[in-house]
Amino acid sequence: MSRRPLSSAGSAPPTSLPSGTVLTRSWLRTAFAFIPFLALVISAWLYAIHLDTLANQSMVRSKASAKASHAARTAADPRADQDSTVIGDSKDNIFYFVQVSDLHISAFRKASTANFYTFLSTALPMVEPAFVVVTGDLTDAKDKDLVGSMQYLSEWSTYRDALEESGVLAKRNGTFWHDLRGNHDCFNVPDWNSKENMFAGMSATKAPGFMFDVKTDYGKYGFIGIDACPKPGPARPYNFFGLFETPDMDYLAQRLELSKGNNHTFVFSHYPVTTTVFGETSSGESFADLSQSFSVYMCGHLHKLKWGLGEALQSYQPTHFLELEVGDMKQNGLYRIMVVDNDMISFTDVSMPLTTIPPAIMPNLEQHEQTEEQVLSDNDSTTSDQTGKKEAKRRPVLGRRLPTNPIIVVSNPKDSRYLIPKHEPVGRIGTSTHIRFLAWTDNQIPGGDSHEHVRKEIKIEIRIDGKLHEQPARFAGTTAEEQTKDEEFLPLYVSAWNPQDYNDGKDHELEIKIVDRLGRLGSSRTVFRVDGERSELNGGFAEWIMWANVAMLLKALFTTGYLFVALILLILPKLYSLYLQTSPPPPATLAYTKVATDMTMSHAQASLNQQDQPQFKNGYDAWLDEKCRHLYRLSSTLSSASSRHKFWNRFVNHTIHAHVLRFVHFSTQPILFYTTLVFTLMLVTVPQFWGNFIPSAGEQGQGWFYLQGIYLPHAGGHLGGGVREASLDAAGPARVQEPLSVLTGALSSLTGGRLVSSRAGDDYDSSGGVGGTWIPMADTWMSTIWTVVYDLVIFLYYLTLCATPSGYLYSPSNPHRLRPYHRTWYIRCLVFGIWVFRCCSVLMTAELYGPSVVWTGIGTWWLVVVGWLMFMVGWSRSRIERDILLRRGEDDNEGQQRFAQEEEEEEDSVLVGEGADVEGKEYGRTRVLSHPHETISLIARKETPQQEQVEVSEETEEVEGVRTSRRSPKGRKT
């Protein structure tokens, strides 16, 4: 069956307008097509910036006095540069303490509780530190299925009773044990004064942070604990990143100001810097400005990561402080000993003997339940039974002290990988006279001193760079029997040395081995330098994680990926297709016409060639036809090209042109394109779902999940109370949802309020209603990144593949024309599996935050729409593709007949030069289909007697002054 071209040969040519007029009209049509589309996109992005400014209004304040405050903090250290202190064998100028983190006492998983009990019964009596700091996650706060989260009274009771049983609360007049909240301790906690905040009544500190000083004859050392938990605290999982707002920053700045002149200042937090979103102080100082005032930042939270990636989560930060994350007590049984020796800070991480912890000491928390009134009101050591008799309160059994291998901490020379040149007197290493180290050995001997394997003394071996150190080590501290009120236990050992023997500007290794009286071995390896220079930490991925700001990196990653998807895959192809569709078709070229210039061609032949010339409605149809022709030529050579060209033709050239055609063609499909574009813009401008993020707060804990954070419209400040104000939006939901404030709010955000006010209304009475609360968490950005990857990129790419007929991309001889790879069963199963996975993710989120997540979530409706689109477009052949494949057989037969007819006519009208005889002939022919997007190039070919497929090219040559056209196999000499 044959189709007529759009214009007949005998019809009069249309009246042509001047080229300038056509060009002007084309650009006007293009401009009018661009303006609504660009206005929609730009308005949405401006509103997204406005929302981000609202969410972070509690993180940024005035910067009027920032420069003065920063200059005051960066003033020169009052301590003299020249140091006369010599590190020798004295037991003065030294103290040590212990850090432990992530206890995760659980009512359902008791191994972590047993580890904590063993720490209290074994590690503390052996080490005898000056004090202990616990950096968060005291309880687990997860349900039995590890899905939901809430504060369990039994877990906090276990923690409190263990502290009382061990006696750490009363030690050193109540200044021995200091604890902080972690993210698990603020799961589902509306505010500090809420009854859900059991840390306030059952911890040792009972306050959001702490500050104390250790004053000695040789200086003063400050210790500051900060609470970076989100306030209010949502239930999991959106509670991984810490949040330190402007009031919190002011709190830290005030305490650092009081710590001026200290020998060292230590800052403790549950969250590492990399997982904390820091605001600015009221004077405009950032955390980087404040961090120049302390020496060490100690934290927990990351649990050594997974797959061995977090064995050494430590980093030397650009603002010259050392950040040290300690592993968890929950699974790894780790704690850290920090030693300050002559102002040089050293540490070691100790792993408890987990394999020797007997299960008998694990508490039965199910039988340890108490009511809230019993816990909070009964502070004495007795309770009453049903008969009214007094009986002692049940205490946890901490268990016996377990045998432990020797523990060693080298304090001089300090490990050069952890030097802090700005805060430490590193020059003292080169002038020291003794190697100094602390060594704890287990003196408990089974069966007494008569045990056959007991040695009288411990054995110490020191090696430097593999060579045995000649000077023996001796004890220079204070034994447990000799300690007094003024002179505490100090297991210090020293060995004389000459540091200048190693002052060659290179790294050296110090190895110390100790065998205790029972033959247990402990060892320590230290990398040191004498010249005071730092050695490379070589921490790999763990060091990078601590160095990089993951919270800011997530925002940068989302912004980059989102703009790439929106601009490269959606907006630019759409603008290009709009430009082509509003442009006139190009004039006929030699590629499409066969009108002869010589007088020997008959009028009938010229008319026949004019009928073959394709007619295009606009520039897009011409561009599509040209692109299809190019892809046909590429796909035809894939099977015949040499092996060295296959990679380029198949994976690079053809792939690039095919994807350009796919995305431009996708932008011309209104339902597919605008549905995807609206979802893309909604991700950054509208709430993704409504949920009950803080169930214990009732209606005040319900709110919207935005990209920029969680917005609780019915919560005022910290849900009506708290120790600090939150990100309070006085105008409430109106400022977020008022349509007229989109442009004014965005302009205010971009200009800092210089052009328009950032308030929805300056005359708004903040006392007339309840304001909303923003929680600008990095968790929302991380969640939206997964939404972009799974719900947008994968489904957009799959729909783009399916929306483009394979007849546009492959010649009839290419096997992918009939069965493109995206229509194979395994690709369909993979995409369907991803769709099911995302549906399950929505249901799991609904289980955590309520069923409203399903029906209010834009992700839910997008999954419904994309599932329907995949079925209609991806799992059934489109009308265009069916039409193309249906006509393939007809076109091949018609091409064979047409080829024979034209061959006879060309014998009379074309002069063939010498060597024009070819073995096989093949040519390309253009066909115009009824649909504007169906304009494609179909190839009719004639096989050679040897069934060899040859690509044909047109050549134009002059023979005796007459221009002729002929077809010859491409690549062959004719």
Q: In which band, very low, low, confident or very high, does the pLDDT at 690 lie, cut at 50, 70 and 90? A: very high
pLDDT tens for 536-550 read: 988 888 888 988 889
Q: In which band, very low, low, confident or very high, does the pLDDT at 666 lie, cut at 50, 70 and 90? A: very high
pLDDT score of 763: 38
Q: Please report the DSSP string for 482-513 in residue order.
A: T--SSS--B-EEEEE--GGGG-SSS-EEEEEE
Calculate mean pLDDT across residues 495-517.
93
pLDDT score of 582: 84
Going by C-beta distance under 8 Å and a sequence separation of 6 or more, which residues neighbour residue 338? 96, 97, 98, 99, 298, 345, 346, 347
CATH superfamily to which 66-74+95-362+399-548 belongs: Metallo-dependent phosphatases (3.60.21.10)
Q: In which band, very low, low, confident or very high, does the pLDDT at 428 lie, cut at 50, 70 and 90? A: very high
Dist CA 169 CA 947 (whole Å): 94
Q: Is the predicted pLDDT of residue 613 greater than 80, yes or no?
A: no
Return the DSSP state at 328.
Answer: P
On the 0-12 / 13-18 / 19+ scale of CB atoms within 10 A, 901 is exposed
Q: In which band, very low, low, confident or very high, does the pLDDT at 723 lie, cut at 50, 70 and 90? A: very low
Dist CA 550 CA 274 (whole Å): 5
Cβ contact 425:492 at 8 Å? no
pLDDT tens for 154-174 read: 999 999 999 999 999 999 888
Calculate mean pLDDT across residues 347-366.
68
Q: In which band, very low, low, confident or very high, does the pLDDT at 72 lie, cut at 50, 70 and 90? A: low
Dist CA 117 CA 104 (whole Å): 12
What does R_g of the chain's alpha carbons equal in angstroms?
39
Amino acid (one-letter) located at 596: A
Residue in this structure with the two tokens 């007049």, named with its chain if needed: 173
Dist CA 383 CA 371 (whole Å): 12
pLDDT tens for 29-50 read: 777 778 888 888 898 888 888 8
Q: Please report the DSSP string for 231-257 in residue order.
A: SSBPPTTS--SEEE-HHHHHHHHHHHH
**Alpha helix locations (H) across 478-602?**
540-547, 550-563, 572-581
Is the model more confident about 595 or about 159? 159
Residues, the chain? 974
pLDDT score of 37: 86
pLDDT score of 967: 41
Is the model more confident about 588 or about 332? 332
pLDDT tens for 944-969 read: 333 333 333 333 333 333 333 444 44
pLDDT score of 169: 93
Calculate mean pLDDT across residues 48-59.
83
Dist CA 30 CA 34 (whole Å): 6
pLDDT score of 806: 78
Average pLDDT, whole number, for the chain? 76
pLDDT score of 420: 94
Tokens of 652: 């690079």
CA nearest to 611, candidates 594, 591, 586: 594
pLDDT score of 437: 96
Is omega for the bond preceding 318 within 30 degrees of 0, making it cis? no
Is the model more confident about 444 or about 659? 659
Is the model more confident about 80 or about 251? 251
Q: 931-965 burial, b if ≥16 CB within 10 A, otherwise e?
A: eeebbbbbbbbeeeeeeeebbbbeeeeeeeeeebe
Q: What is the end-to-end Cα distance of the chain in Å, rounded? A: 35
- Strands, DSSP E only, in 66-112? 94-100
pLDDT score of 930: 36
pLDDT score of 455: 62
Sign of the Cα torsion 45, 46, 50, 56 reads positive
Dist CA 162 CA 155 (whole Å): 11
Q: How far is CA 811 from the centre of its chain?
A: 43
pLDDT score of 403: 84
pLDDT score of 873: 77
Beta strand 264-268 pairing with 296-299: parallel
pLDDT score of 73: 53
On the 0-12 / 13-18 / 19+ scale of CB atoms within 10 A, 40 is middle
Number of H helices, E strands in the chain: 26, 32
pLDDT tens for 858-879 read: 999 999 999 998 888 766 555 5
Q: What angle do CA 798, 803, 804 make, to 5 degrees?
A: 110
Dist CA 336 CA 127 (whole Å): 11
pLDDT score of 370: 47
Q: Is the predicted pLDDT of residue 691 greater than 70, yes or no?
A: yes
pLDDT score of 33: 78
The phi, psi pair for 438, rounded to 5°, reads -100, 135
Q: How far is CA 43 from the centre of its chain?
A: 27
Q: What angle do CA 205, 208, 214 make, to 5 degrees?
A: 55
Q: Is the predicted pLDDT of residue 672 greater than 50, yes or no?
A: yes
pLDDT score of 24: 60
pLDDT score of 267: 96
Dist CA 321 CA 295 (whole Å): 5
Helix (H) or strand (E) holding 692: strand 689-692
Q: 541-572 burial, b if ≥16 CB within 10 A, otherwise e?
A: ebbebbbebbbeebbeebeeebeebbeebbbe
Q: Which residues pair with 345 in a beta bridge?
A: 340
| 3-state SS, residue 187 | coil
Per-domain residue ranges of the chain = 66-74+95-362+399-548
Dist CA 627 CA 807 (whole Å): 12
Query: What's the whole-model pTM score?
Result: 0.79
Dist CA 87 CA 182 (whole Å): 38
Percent of the chain with pLDDT over 90: 41
Q: In which band, very low, low, confident or very high, does the pLDDT at 457 lie, cut at 50, 70 and 90? A: confident
Calculate mean pLDDT across residues 689-714.
91
pLDDT score of 853: 93
Q: Is the predicted pLDDT of residue 647 greater than 70, yes or no?
A: no
Tokens of 338: 């920090």
Calculate mean pLDDT across residues 108-122.
88
Range 447-456, long-range pairs (CB < 8 A, 24+ positions)? 451/518, 453/518, 453/519, 454/517, 454/518, 455/515, 455/516, 455/517, 455/518, 455/519, 456/517
Starting at the earlier edge strand, list the strands of the sheet with 492-496: 407-412, 434-440, 492-496, 474-475
Least confident of 237-241, 557-561, 876-880: 876-880
Range 666-672, long-range pairs (CB < 8 A, 24+ positions)? 666/573, 666/799, 666/800, 666/803, 666/804, 667/570, 667/573, 667/574, 667/576, 667/577, 668/577, 668/581, 668/620, 668/933, 669/803, 671/869, 672/799, 672/803, 672/869, 672/873
Tokens of 729: 């939006």
Q: Is the predicted pLDDT of residue 286 greater than 50, yes or no?
A: yes
Cβ contact 231:243 at 8 Å? yes
Going by C-beta distance under 8 Å and a sequence separation of 6 or more, which residues neighbour residue 198? 151, 153, 156
